[in-house]
């Protein structure tokens, strides 16, 4: 069955409802909201992974490196059937599997435990190399924040991925102008200099995000998704 534009819009509207179920004293709600459009496009139209394939070696992998604001991620997982909707209202409480940082041992569909910045991209590089060694043609997509690129571990990962030509690796940088060392429009050229295919899009434009996230080639790929400053 072909997914219509109406179904896509209806699903995205429900995603916002699911996110609104998570209340409480969470200080990273703005950071989470900035990732909502990217996460929806990835899980609704791009990634080849579903609740029934989370253990399939050939599945696409998604790493939320920006794990300190996971509410949009949890809402997306609930919308796509990875976790029950009933988990959302109790998130971040003592008995809930949904913590302030996602835990891969507690939340179905979560590939890495994250929240400490600078880990997701290096892990994604290693995973992509592992899949290549096994001749598994799966994608690895990692979402990072613009400020997270200040971490030195990311700089090393960018250089290595470009040098090795990891064409099945994609990075989405949600750029909300939050880095302390910001130079406007500097992120894409930084990746391109290291041999990456780079594109800049409006982080709320679903067709543009889809087109950017489905580009293919023999080089690692970065999508800089620009959103309003937070």
CA distances from 158 to 19, 167, 175 (A): 32, 13, 17
pLDDT at 32: 74
Instruction: Note the helical H segments in 114-213.
Output: 120-133, 152-164, 187-193, 206-213
Above 90 in pLDDT, residue 14? no
Q: Which residue has the higher pLDDT, 12 or 210?
A: 210
The CATH number of residue 98's host domain is 3.40.50.970
Above 60 in pLDDT, residue 8? no
Above 50 in pLDDT, residue 198? yes
Whether the Cβ atoms of residue 210 and residue 42 lie closer than 8 Å to each other: no
Report how many domains make up the chain.
1
pTM above threshold 0.75: yes
Mean pLDDT of 187-207: 95
Q: Pick the range with the lowest mean pLDDT from 134-148, 162-176, 177-191.
A: 177-191
Q: What is the pLDDT of residues 45-55, one digit of tens each?
A: 999 999 999 99
CA 12 to chain centre: 16
pLDDT at 181: 65
Above 50 in pLDDT, residue 2? no
Annotate 11-61 with three-state secondary structure. HHHHHHHHHHCCCCCCCCHHHHHCCHHHHHHHHHHHCCCCHHHCCCCCCCE
Q: Which residues span the domain enclosing 207? A: 5-226
CA distance 76 to 40: 6
Annotate 60-95 with three-state secondary structure. CEEEECCCCCCHHHHHHHHHCCCCCHHHHHHCCCCC
Tell me the two tokens of residue 4: 């219509």
Q: What pairs with residue 221 in β-bridges?
A: 170, 197
> Per-residue confidence at 73, pLDDT binned at 50, 70, 90?
very high
Mean pLDDT of 117-125: 92
């Amino acid at each position: 069955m072909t997914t219509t534009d109406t179904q896509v819009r209806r699903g995205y509207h429900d995603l916002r409802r699911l996110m609104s179920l998570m209340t409480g004293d969470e200080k990273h709600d703005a950071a989470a909201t900035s990732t909502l459009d990217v996460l929806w496009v990835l899980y609704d139209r791009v990634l080849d992974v579903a609740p029934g394939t989370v253990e399939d070696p050939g599945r696409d992998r998604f790493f939320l490196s920006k794990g300190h604001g996971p509410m949009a991620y949890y809402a997306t997982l609930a919308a796509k059937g990875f976790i029950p909707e009933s988990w959302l209202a109790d998130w971040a409480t003592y008995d809930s599997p949904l913590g302030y940082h996602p835990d891969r041992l507690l939340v179905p569909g979560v590939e890495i435990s994250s929240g400490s910045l600078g880990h997701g991209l290096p892990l994604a590089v290693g995973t992509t190399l592992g899949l290549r060694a096994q001749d598994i043609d799966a994608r690895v997509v990692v979402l990072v924040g613009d400020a997270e690129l200040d971490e030195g571990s990311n700089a090393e990962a960018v250089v290595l991925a470009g040098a090795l030509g990891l064409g099945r690796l994609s990075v989405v940088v949600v750029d909300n102008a939050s880095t302390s060392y910001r130079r406007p429009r500097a992120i894409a050229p930084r990746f391109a200099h290291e041999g990456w295919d780079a594109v800049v899009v409006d982080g709320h434009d679903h067709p543009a995000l889809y087109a950017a996230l489905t580009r293919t080639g023999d080089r690692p790929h970065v999508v800089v998704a620009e959103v309003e400053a937070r």
